[in-house]
Structure 1
Amino acid sequence: MTQTQQFKRFLSLDILRGLTVASMITVNNPGSWGEPTFAPLRHAAWDGCTPTDLVFPFFLFCVGASIWFAYRKSNHELTTPAVTKILKRGLLIFLVGHLVGYYPFYRFGDIAPEQSWLGCLCSIVQILGLGLSIGSMVWFSNQKKSEELDPDYKRRRAWAWTLLGVGLVLAILPFPLLLGTPLKSLSSWRILGVFPRIAICFTVGALLALWLKTYKRISIALVLILAVYWIVSAMFGDFTLEGNLARTIDLAILGDAHMYHGEGIAFDPEGLWSTLPAVGTVLLGYMSGKLMGESTEDVKRNIITLAAVGGLLITLGLIMNPYFPINKKLWSSSYVLYAGGLAMQVWALFAFLIDVRKKTKWTTFFAVFGTNALFTYCLSTFFVKVWGQSWFRVPMDGGERKMTVFSAWFTTLKEVMPVELASFLCALSLVALCWLVALPLYKRKIYIKL
């Protein structure tokens, strides 16, 4: 096997990751959270599992698989440079997550009605800033060592840094402060969330996997993680919303004000204690990546093995369900096995279609997302937040109604179709917009990595 063959991208994994990211954008951005949506696009109320509940574990599974492929060149050794790289990337993902979450830094809803024009102005300026920033990052990502010998390289690099700086200033410029709009308070800022969980699971999962190395050791660690989580959770709490141990720990360490309140009380589905079994999802992904990538001599055998193990894990998860229910919000041990098994089987299916049968004509759409996964997910969040502050007043029902760009689009759609379909198409519109931005990067093989 040549060096090029050994380290080529695994297309079926890119497609699985891309499908997952597109699904994350879809389920996280309905037309309106207060309106009905299709049942598969909603999370289970508590116990149980819908297709939406599979999106996040599928992403963490892909994170685990990607770890194996990312450290092939270092022979999966836990060296000092590898540890440094893992810690830096984990910290970067954590910080970017909070930057995205806190953006746009000020409470735009407090602005006076007569100054609503400021929202549209802010949006135009920030979109311009985002465009300059993204363009500069793309330029830096696309540079090769050989180009540094070019006499004009330093001049172009200086321009790129200048544009990046200007873009960031325009993107985050809190000029509403000039009109008395207050900054968001950190006293009630949610500490954890999707990005912090990704960061923690990536860091801990990568360090564990590279340290343990073998299937046997990683499997033992996985069993211990799931067993300890189950036993300790049962000993010091129950599996209800109010009485679970994860909530108790988060209240004690994070505090009520810094937790998610979407369930009506302080409960964080991405809390501290429930992050432990989520690391197990990353380990399942790592072992799957090891299986698929370590020996490419018999791809069909690897696919059959992956699908069989996935079926076994699904069965084990269902057997455990009556005792520790499949529950995404608790990230229960049965949920880890059930969702991980399904991820294995979907990857096995994609690998068979793409890597064995070479059916790749349908893959481009998802490959665009899969090759720049975190970038496109961040981009979707920025788009929604920028649109969310672009509000204006429109006459409606004998009065006026405050609307944003996104809510206006949703309102227009639901006038001509069922509300569930309008909500779904609203989300797909955002997916399409992010895809159009990421498409040129994919065509030029530019991969923006955090």
Structure 2
Amino acid sequence: MWRRVQDHLSGIMAQCNPDRSLAIDVFRGITITGMILVNNPGSWDHVYAPLLHAKWHGWTPTDLIFPFFIFIVGLSAAFAAASQNKIQGTTAPNRTAQLKTAAIRSAKLFGLGLFLAIFYYDFQASNYSWFTERIENIRILGVLQRIALVFFCMTLLRLYASRTVEYAACVFLLALYTFCMAFTPYPLPTGGTGVGGWAFGENFTAYIDALILGSAHSYYANATPFPFDPEGIFSTLPAIVTGMLGLFTGRFLLAEKNAIARLKRLIPAGILLTLLGLVLDPVIPINKALWTPSYVLLTAGLAVLSLAFCIYLLDIRKTQRWSAPFIVFGANAIAFYMFSAVAARILTMIPVGETSLHALLYSKVFMPLFGPLNGSLAFALAFLALSYGAMYAMYKRKIFWKV
């Protein structure tokens, strides 16, 4: 059995494209694997604390996953841009063509996010109105939608701004966000004026979401005084900086090919960014839902350190076989995300008596075998194994879904 597993892993490694960065592919695979793991417990009532988001201020390992993915979007954009510029050049017509390609890709990602928002039906509720719940009250923003917006804004900066302007834009976005959150007044629905603050539902970004999206189209529809979305409109500005920091890191990797030299720059940079985020925390709290500047710095720093660790293991120590499953997941990250999201919804939608297939599998199979907490985790791991089968089938046939 172990020999077959080793042969399986070796076969995956043999298919790797030597021209691609193994560390980035594995980092992407680990990140998307973590995202699917934390999104699919057997029961949300029984989840280990590190696999849950922080309730508001603060952070857990789970709060690192989404910014890591956006950071990796920036990393990948740097390599893709270098390839495009090598083939097409950087003249104005080619910049326009690249922007058009980016716009189409962003629209597809945004559309996939909207598809997931409407892909649900409650078969157990006799009076369920899919049109009312999923169309009239559609959640407009979400994970894929934020990735789409960040990717497009990054492309604009990459194509039409100088390096100096890019750096200045990142500083400006974080400063603007901080100033508006701390000092910009906004009217309260109960009368009076709110100014500053980072409270749940009572802050400037929540005010913007309530003004534009309204409660019907926000994730936290019942937040007071303002409903808002954790992937909201104004909080996307600092998320752009997360992507840009990934882009800057990707450019550095392109310029520096020596693995040891890479670590000598990445490790100090990662430590500095992490410490800056922690130092800012008492003044600007680390908060994922608000994507605060301290959160941007902390998560970017930890992303850089995580990438450095991957480079150390894969490129310097040449310890690579363990990474094979993550290569499979990372090679089709968006397909993996979509497959898992659709499959999870289907398990929840299929009625079995007075419950769902998801709840039945957890309560009748996983919980009796492993207990409530471990059973919930075992369900998530089994879901990952199922997803791996589908993603490996695509990988083996060299099917790579590019949005």
In which range does the TM-score fall when normalised by the shorter chain?
0.7 to 0.9
Partner of 1:362 in structure 2? Answer: 322
One-letter amino acid of the structure 2 residue matched with residue 386 of structure 1: I
Partner of 2:342 in structure 1? Answer: 382
Deviation at 1:184, TM superposition (A): 4.8
Partner of 2:298 in structure 1? Answer: 338
Q: Are the counterparts in 1 of residues 122 and 349 from structure 2 also a CA contact under 8 Å?
A: no
Deviation at 1:447, TM superposition (A): 1.3
Deviation at 1:100, TM superposition (A): 2.0
Larger radius of gyration: 1
Deviation at 1:373, TM superposition (A): 0.2
One-letter amino acid of the structure 1 residue matched with residue 79 of structure 2: F
Q: Are the counterparts in 1 of residues 271 and 305 from structure 2 also a CA contact under 8 Å?
A: yes
Q: Aligned partners of 1:208, 1:201: CA distance in 2, in Å? A: 11
Does structure 1 residue 202 correspond to structure 2 residue 141?
no
Does structure 1 residue 231 correspond to structure 2 residue 179?
yes
Q: Aligned partners of 2:129, 2:261: CA distance in 1, in Å? A: 61
Does structure 1 residue 435 correspond to structure 2 residue 396?
no
Partner of 1:88 in structure 2? Answer: 104
Q: Aligned partners of 2:389, 2:273: CA distance in 1, in Å? A: 37
Does structure 1 residue 108 correspond to structure 2 residue 123?
yes
Q: Are the counterparts in 2 of residues 107 and 183 from structure 1 also a CA contact under 8 Å?
A: no
Q: Aligned partners of 1:211, 1:347: CA distance in 2, in Å? A: 28
Q: Can you list the C-alpha shifts for 1:352-375, whole angstroms capped at 9, x where unaligned?
A: 111222211101110111110010
- 2:233 is paired with a residue of what secondary structure? coil
Q: Aligned partners of 2:209, 2:58: CA distance in 1, in Å? A: 23
Q: Can you list the C-alpha shifts for 1:263-295, whole angstroms capped at 9, x where unaligned?
A: 755221110010100001000110111111233
Does structure 1 residue 258 correspond to structure 2 residue 217?
yes
Q: Aligned partners of 1:184, 1:243: CA distance in 2, in Å? A: 28
Q: Tell me the C-alpha RMSD between the 2 structures.
A: 2.1
Partner of 1:11 in structure 2? Answer: 22
Q: Aligned partners of 1:448, 1:239: CA distance in 2, in Å? A: 39
Match of residue 288, structure 1, among 249, 252, 257: 249
Q: More displaced, 234-243 or 310-319?
A: 234-243
Q: Aligned partners of 1:233, 1:285: CA distance in 2, in Å? A: 25
Q: Can you list the C-alpha shifts for 1:23-45, whole angstroms capped at 9, x where unaligned?
A: 11111111122x12101001111
Does structure 1 residue 409 correspond to structure 2 residue 369?
no
Q: Can you list the C-alpha shifts for 1:189-222, whole angstroms capped at 9, x where unaligned?
A: 11111111111011111221333353x4322221
One-letter amino acid of the structure 1 residue matched with residue 218 of structure 2: M
One-letter amino acid of the structure 1 residue matched with residue 27 of structure 2: L
Does structure 1 residue 28 correspond to structure 2 residue 43?
no
Deviation at 1:403, TM superposition (A): 2.0
Partner of 1:128 in structure 2? Answer: none
- 1:242 is paired with a residue of what secondary structure? coil
Q: More displaced, 412-421 or 58-67?
A: 412-421
Q: Are the counterparts in 1 of residues 123 and 350 from structure 2 also a CA contact under 8 Å?
A: no
- 2:352 is paired with a residue of what secondary structure? strand
- 1:273 is paired with a residue of what secondary structure? coil
Q: Map 1:104-253 to 2 at 5 A.
A: 104=120, 106-111=121-126, 183-185=131-133, 186-214=135-163, 216-236=164-184, 237-253=196-212
Q: Rate the CA distance shift 1:42–1:422 in 2: closer, same or farther, 3 A.
A: same
Q: Are the counterparts in 1 of residues 362 and 375 from structure 2 also a CA contact under 8 Å?
A: yes
Instruction: Provide TM-score, normalisation by structure 1.
Output: 0.78
- Size of the aligned set, in residue pairs, is 367
Q: Aligned partners of 2:130, 2:83: CA distance in 1, in Å? A: 49
Partner of 2:57 in structure 1? Answer: 47
Q: Aligned partners of 1:234, 1:40: CA distance in 2, in Å? A: 30
One-letter amino acid of the structure 1 residue matched with residue 171 of structure 2: V
Deviation at 1:111, TM superposition (A): 4.1
Match of residue 268, structure 1, among 211, 225, 229: 229
Q: Are the counterparts in 2 of residues 68 and 286 from structure 1 also a CA contact under 8 Å?
A: yes
Q: Aligned partners of 2:352, 2:291: CA distance in 1, in Å? A: 40
One-letter amino acid of the structure 2 residue matched with residue 291 of structure 1: F
One-letter amino acid of the structure 2 residue matched with residue 331 of structure 1: W
One-letter amino acid of the structure 2 residue matched with residue 62 of structure 1: I
One-letter amino acid of the structure 2 residue matched with residue 194 of structure 1: V
Partner of 1:328 in structure 2? Answer: 288
Q: Aligned partners of 2:57, 2:83: CA distance in 1, in Å? A: 42
- 1:110 is paired with a residue of what secondary structure? coil
Q: Aligned partners of 1:370, 1:188: CA distance in 2, in Å? A: 33
Q: Rate the CA distance shift 1:312–1:206 in 2: closer, same or farther, 3 A.
A: same
- 2:355 is paired with a residue of what secondary structure? strand
- 2:124 is paired with a residue of what secondary structure? helix
Q: Rate the CA distance shift 1:437–1:212 in 2: closer, same or farther, 3 A.
A: same
One-letter amino acid of the structure 1 residue matched with residue 321 of structure 2: K
Q: Aligned partners of 1:303, 1:446: CA distance in 2, in Å? A: 33
Deviation at 1:255, TM superposition (A): 0.8
